[in-house]
């Protein structure tokens, strides 16, 4: 273990960080790869896991060809040991478990099975496991997000991306509440809330909590605890102007005020031509141009996350 | 949105500096613009407008040292559970504690009168709060005569427009109305 890694960060070791966001094409995979590269450079042992069901391409972001062994092989027990599907990336301390498209066949794996898979990955010699989640809000994606120690939500400063991020937050939180509910009626209430046109008029987690408090006060404390411990972290990608970076703070404020969800803002990454140039050559920009603006942003994000910090408000 | 106090509405601590108040106001004002990405999908247009008004109100109070002082005092008096804006009755005076004359006697939440603001609507708002002209004159050092002219819309008997603005703002503030909106609206009729 390197000296850097020993200088204890405030987070415990063997962390699972997932990178989601709901929308496709907003840079989740690139961000995962760059963040992993940066953490490895800082002396952390990192495993990248491609949990993108439909469009697994994390290996391409790392400049690798499609690996022969994938997470799907492990889940379907084609390989007994998780080590068997672990691939070297050529970067010291940085390894990869590829998803590859055949993971789709394992799309209906159960929650407990996902926990088992992640625990096996966590049992490896590793400091940080980075999970690249796919687009959408399906159970598979949301479950991996919920199992993680840190759930990063990537957004770009565009309406559709932010709408999807809110949808993702609601889906994830409702999934969590549904799993926690002890009462069948409450469970049904949570399921009803998922439908935007529910007859109870539940639009937000705040509304849901109010209804639960009225009808099942005995469940309210549990609900509040589940909501309070659900803490997604926003990363704003493709920032072009200062106001774009401020959107992260606005999202945190909006989540707290209008959804009752306590999120944090952990970083932003500038839009940068250097990223494009590297992508086209199937190379990782942060390795190609570590002084590029986007690369420095990722480095800052890595530091903030390792310290368990948040970005300070602009006043 | 649950009712936030003015500091909470602007995400500020109670010791916020004037510069922080400015920055926070601009941040939240842009966050609740109609097309703002952070809120358009969470709130409808009316809800956005209400929040904007609330934020504006918080800002108007906190940026004015005098009003802020009065507001801080009222926060200290307020019961721990935040209340919705109070109706027009005057708040009972704390018995022994001497108060500076500038202290607004009513609740902190500023009200907006329907436009156009006239001398008559001002008078009615004042009477609702059971505040006398003499009281306002004592606190603001504006002559009772001028206050009467304002309520009677005797604009020609009043001094230059800049003074009228100041008078109306102080009058409004004293009876818990938004000073800027009140003066802006009142002055429209003075000029025409």
B19-77 pLDDT tens trace: 999 999 999 999 999 999 999 999 999 999 999 999 999 999 999 999 999 999 998 88
| A213 at interface of B, judged by CB pairs closer than 8 A | no
Sign of the Cα pseudo-torsion (A6, A11, A14, A15, in order): negative
State residue B192's pLDDT score: 60
State residue A163's pLDDT score: 95
State residue B87's pLDDT score: 38
State residue A7's pLDDT score: 44
Contact yes or no for B42 and A162 at CB 8 A: no
Contact yes or no for B19 and A315 at CB 8 A: yes
8 A C-beta contact, residue B185 and residue B192: no
> Which one of B37, B39, B54 would you mutate to disrupt binding with A, by most A Cβ within 10 Å of its Cβ?
B37
Chain mean pLDDT for chain B: 82
Q: What CA–CA distance (Å, rounded) separates B54 from B29?
A: 10
C-alpha distances in Å from residue A249, one per residue of A144, A234, B3, B43: 25, 9, 20, 17
For chain A, where are the alpha helices, taking DSSP H only? Answer: 3-6, 28-41, 58-61, 71-75, 111-122, 139-147, 159-180, 184-194, 205-215, 217-228, 242-254, 273-280, 285-288, 293-307
Which chain A residues have a beta carbon less than 8 Å from that of B40? 159
Closest residue of B to A258, CA-based? B1
Burial of residue B64, with CB atoms counted within 10 A of its CB: 0-12 exposed, 13-18 middle, 19 or more buried: middle
Which chain B residues have a beta carbon less than 8 Å from that of A247? 37-38
State residue B130's pLDDT score: 82
Structure tokens at B156: 């020609």
- DSSP code of residue B111: B
State residue A78's pLDDT score: 86
Which chain A residues have a beta carbon less than 8 Å from that of B25? none
- Consecutive 10-residue runs of chain A (315 residues): their mean pLDDT? 43 83 88 97 95 78 86 84 92 90 58 82 91 86 91 96 95 93 91 86 90 91 92 97 95 95 97 93 92 96 94 88
State residue A76's pLDDT score: 79
Interface ipTM: 0.86
Q: List phi, psi (to 5°) of B165.
A: -55, -50
Closest residue of A to B13, CA-based? A315
pTM exceeds 0.80, yes or no: no
State residue A107's pLDDT score: 57
State residue A65's pLDDT score: 87
| A159 at interface of B, judged by CB pairs closer than 8 A | yes
Of A158, A258, A314, the CB nearest to B23: A314
Q: Evaluate if residue B104 carries a pLDDT over 60.
A: no
Which chain A residues have a beta carbon less than 8 Å from that of B13? none
Which chain B residues have a beta carbon less than 8 Å from that of A160? none
């Amino acid at each position: 273990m390197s000296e850097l890694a020993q200088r204890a960060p405030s987070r415990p070791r063997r962390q699972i960080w997932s990178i989601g966001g709901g929308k496709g094409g907003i840079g989740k995979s690139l961000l995962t790869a760059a963040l992993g590269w940066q953490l490895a450079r800082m002396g952390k042992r990192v495993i990248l896991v491609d949990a993108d069901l439909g469009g697994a391409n994390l290996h391409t972001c790392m400049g690798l060809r499609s690996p022969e062994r994938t997470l799907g092989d492990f889940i379907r027990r084609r390989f007994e040991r998780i080590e068997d599907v672990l691939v070297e990336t050529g970067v010291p301390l940085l390894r990869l478990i590829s998803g590859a498209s055949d993971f789709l066949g394992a799309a209906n794996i159960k929650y407990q099975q996902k926990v088992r898979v992640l625990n096996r990955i966590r049992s490896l010699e590793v400091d940080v496991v980075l999970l690249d989640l796919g687009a959408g809000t399906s159970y598979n994606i949301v479950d991996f997000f919920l199992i993680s120690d840190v759930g990063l939500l990537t957004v770009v400063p565009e309406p559709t991306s932010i709408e999807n991020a809110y949808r993702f937050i609601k889906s994830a939180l409702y999934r969590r509440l549904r799993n926690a509910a002890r009462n069948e009626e409450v469970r049904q209430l949570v399921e009803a809330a998922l439908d935007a046109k529910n007859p109870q008029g539940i639009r937000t987690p705040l509304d849901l909590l109010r209804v639960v408090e009225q009808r099942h006060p005995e469940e309210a404390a549990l609900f509040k605890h589940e909501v309070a411990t659900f803490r997604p972290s926003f990363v704003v990608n493709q920032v072009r102007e200062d106001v774009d970076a401020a959107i992260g703070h606005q999202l945190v404020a909006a989540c707290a005020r209008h959804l009752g969800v306590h999120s944090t803002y952990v970083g932003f990454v500038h839009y940068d031509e250097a990223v494009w140039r590297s992508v086209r050559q199937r190379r990782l920009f942060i390795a190609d141009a570590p002084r590029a603006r986007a690369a420095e942003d990722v480095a800052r994000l890595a530091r903030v996350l390792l310290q368990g910090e948040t970005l300070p408000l602009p006043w | 949105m649950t009712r936030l106090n003015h500091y909470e509405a602007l995400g500020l601590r109670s010791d916020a500096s004037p510069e922080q108040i400015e920055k926070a106001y601009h941040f939240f004002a842009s966050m609740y613009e109609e097309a703002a990405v952070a809120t358009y999908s969470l709130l409808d247009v009316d809800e956005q407008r209400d929040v904007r008004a609330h934020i504006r109100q918080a800002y108007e109070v906190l940026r004015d040292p005098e009003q802020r002082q009065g507001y801080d005092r009222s926060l200290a008096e307020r019961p721990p559970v935040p209340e919705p804006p109070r109706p027009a009755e005057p708040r009972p005076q704390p018995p022994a504690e001497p108060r500076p004359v500038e202290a607004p006697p009513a609740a902190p939440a500023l009200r907006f009168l329907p436009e156009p603001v006239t001398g008559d609507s001002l008078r009615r708002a004042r009477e609702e709060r059971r505040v006398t002209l003499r009281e306002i004159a004592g606190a603001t050092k504006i002559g009772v005569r001028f206050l009467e002219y304002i309520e009677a819309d005797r604009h020609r008997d009043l001094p230059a427009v800049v003074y009228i603005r100041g008078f109306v703002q102080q009058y409004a503030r004293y009876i818990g109305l938004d000073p800027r909106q009140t003066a802006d609206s009142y002055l429209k009729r003075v000029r025409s």
